[in-house]
Structure 1
Amino acid sequence: MTEHDESPPSTTTRRRVLTAMGGIGLGAAAAGVLGGAASAAPETPELLRCSTILAPEEIEGPYYIQGEQLRSDITEGKPGVPVELSFTLVDVKRCVPLPNASVDVWHCDALGYYSGFTANDPDSPALAGDDGVPTDDLTFCRGVQVSDTNGLVVFRTIYPGWYYGRTIHIHVKVYTGGREVHTGQLYFQDQLTAQVAALDPYRTHQFRRWRNSEDFIYLQQGGASSVLKVTQVRPGSVADGLRASISLGLNVR
Structure 2
Amino acid sequence: MTMTQEDVRPDGTASRRRVLAAGGAVVAGAGAGGLLATNAVAEAAPAGTADSTSTTGEVCYRLTSESIEGPYYIDADKLRTNVTEGKPGIRLALNIKVIDSETCRPLRNAAVDIWHCDALGVYSGYESTGSGGGSGGGPTGGPTDSPTDTPTGGPGGGGGGGGHQEPTDDTRYLRGTWRTDHQGRVRFQTVLPGWYQGRAVHIHTKVHVGGAWTEGGYEGGHTCHTGQFYFEEEAVLAAAELTPYSTSTVTRVTLTEDMLYDQSGATGGLLTLHYDKRRIGRGVRAFITVGVDPDATHDGDDGGFPGGGSPAPSPSATA
Q: Deviations over 1:41-94 (max 9, x none)?
A: xxxxx7xx626x225401111100112311010000000000000101111232
Measure, in 2, the Cα distance between the counterparts of 1:71 and 1:114: 18
Measure, in 2, the Cα distance between the counterparts of 1:93 and 1:171: 23
2:72 maps to 63
1:162 maps to 195
Q: Which has the higher helix share?
A: 1
Contact 2:45 2:51 in 1 (8 A): no
Measure, in 1, the Cα distance between the counterparts of 2:205 and 2:73: 10
Q: Which runs of 5+ in 1 are unaligned?
A: 1-22, 40-45
| Aligned-partner residue type, residue 82 of structure 2 | D
Q: Secondary structure at the match of 1:184?
A: strand
What TM-score, normalized by structure 2, do the two folds share?
Answer: 0.63
1:171 maps to 204
Measure, in 1, the Cα distance between the counterparts of 2:88 and 2:49: 35
Matches for 1:140-155 after TM superposition, within 5 Å:
140-155=173-188
Q: Secondary structure at the match of 1:239?
A: helix
Contact 2:137 2:250 in 1 (8 A): no
Find out whether 1:34 has 2:76 as its counterpart. Answer: no
Q: Secondary structure at the match of 2:268?
A: helix
Contact 2:63 2:267 in 1 (8 A): no
Distance 1:210 1:112, change over 3 A: same
1:113 maps to 122
Q: Which has the higher strand share?
A: 1
Find out whether 1:94 has 2:103 as its counterpart. Answer: yes
Distance 1:167 1:29, change over 3 A: closer
Cα RMSD of the aligned pairs, angstroms, is 2.6
Q: Which runs of 5+ in 2 are unaligned?
A: 1-43, 144-163, 211-220, 296-319
Measure, in 2, the Cα distance between the counterparts of 1:125 and 1:27: 29
Correspondent of 1:196 among 235, 239, 260: 239
Q: Secondary structure at the match of 1:194?
A: helix
1:242 maps to 284
| Aligned-partner residue type, residue 168 of structure 2 | T
Contact 2:179 2:186 in 1 (8 A): yes
Correspondent of 1:137 among 144, 161, 170: 170
Measure, in 2, the Cα distance between the counterparts of 1:125 and 1:106: 14
Count of residue pairs brought into register by the alignment: 218
Measure, in 2, the Cα distance between the counterparts of 1:98 and 1:219: 25
2:60 maps to 50
Q: Secondary structure at the match of 2:60?
A: helix
Measure, in 2, the Cα distance between the counterparts of 1:214 and 1:59: 17
Contact 1:55 1:222 in 2 (8 A): no
Shift of 1:206: 1.6
Q: Deviations over 1:120-164 (max 9, x none)?
A: 126489833735121101000000010000111000000000111
1:78 maps to 87
Measure, in 2, the Cα distance between the counterparts of 1:142 and 1:180: 17
Shift of 1:28: 8.3
Contact 1:88 1:247 in 2 (8 A): yes
1:128 maps to 141
Measure, in 1, the Cα distance between the counterparts of 2:292 and 2:139: 34
Measure, in 2, the Cα distance between the counterparts of 1:28 and 1:140: 27
Measure, in 2, the Cα distance between the counterparts of 1:192 and 1:155: 19
Measure, in 1, the Cα distance between the counterparts of 2:165 and 2:112: 20
Shift of 1:219: 3.8
Q: Secondary structure at the match of 2:54?
A: coil
